[in-house]
Structure 1
């Protein structure tokens, strides 16, 4: 199925109103990558943000998420 990838921070925030499932998480990650790339940030900058300490994810979860983000980044690079 094709789901629209969010083009703005507001669209990503609006995803909070939808039930959480794999497609929603994938759309959110793809949206973040799309927005960050459009802002001229690098994968290294985004990875540093993902790996930064927070109270939501533990270190192992942040590492896993950074790998998923890197895969999404690569997918965008290949499709461009």
Structure 2
């Protein structure tokens, strides 16, 4: 992966200024999971946030992203 895993929300937001590619997306997902875990959130908490209505993704896209986040959560080490 060409991007370090973000440690803060600001670092995740900084990814917006870089080209969108698979590595950037992976870094954003891993960083989001890392931050959620550090704040004591559960996988259910995080997927509820992903599935919440917003103006960026439609319902099908949110479900797809929720599945990706779930797989990543289960496969990333706790000590990320």
TM-score by length of 1: 0.90
The DSSP-based 3-state class of the residue aligned with 2:7 is coil
For residue 20 of structure 1, what is the aligned residue in structure 2? Answer: 20
CA separation in 2, counterparts of 1:65 and 1:22? Answer: 14
Q: Who is 1:5 aligned against? A: 5
What's the RMSD between the two structures over aligned residues? Answer: 1.6
Alignment of 1:1-80 (within 5 A): 1=1, 3-77=3-77
Secondary structure of the corresponding residue to residue 76 of structure 2: helix
Q: Which moved more, 1:29-38 or 1:70-79?
A: 70-79
Q: Distance in 1 between matches of 2:17 and 2:43?
A: 28
- 1:40-75 Cα offsets, whole Å, 9 max, x none, are 000000000000111111111000000000011011
Relative to the length of structure 2, the TM-score reads 0.90
* Structure with more of its chain in helix, by fraction: 1
